Structure 1
């Protein structure tokens, strides 16, 4: 699966913490606009945190 546009474009110009939070915010707003329930949004955000954590570990390992 391709990375989200917000994560890719923002990670090039800003700290990853901000871009990760911005991406989460856009995900929440998009899901709310599509009528998803809070429970479903929370599940997606949990998965998103795991994706961000995995990517950070892989990036860190490749820099070692």
Structure 2
């Protein structure tokens, strides 16, 4: 049986993102600013932001794809 962890890739490094011409300026700005913060606080804030943006995206998609009642 294949190891399911074998398909998981490591996240890119700060340097890789900062050097990537395809990475957004907003992402690079956040990485630069947040690299000076406490790592655990920054990670928790990033998770919270991801949850907020996912929830808002889900609401928008439901509004666009479901008929009004």
Q: Give the alignment's TM-score, normalised by structure 2.
A: 0.48
Aligned length: 42
- What's 2:30 paired with? 27
SS at match of 1:36: coil
User: Which has the larger share of helix?
Assistant: 1
Structure with bigger gyration radius: 2
Uncovered stretches (5+) of structure 1, i.e. residues with no partner: 1-20
**Structure 1 position 24, deviation (Å):** 4.4
Query: Higher relative contact order by CA 8 Å / sep ≥ 6: 1 or 2?
Result: 1
Sort the Cα spacing of 1:51 and 1:43 in 2 relative to 1 into closer, same or farther, 3 A: same
Moved over 6 A (4+): none
RMSD: 2.0
Uncovered stretches (5+) of structure 2, i.e. residues with no partner: 1-22
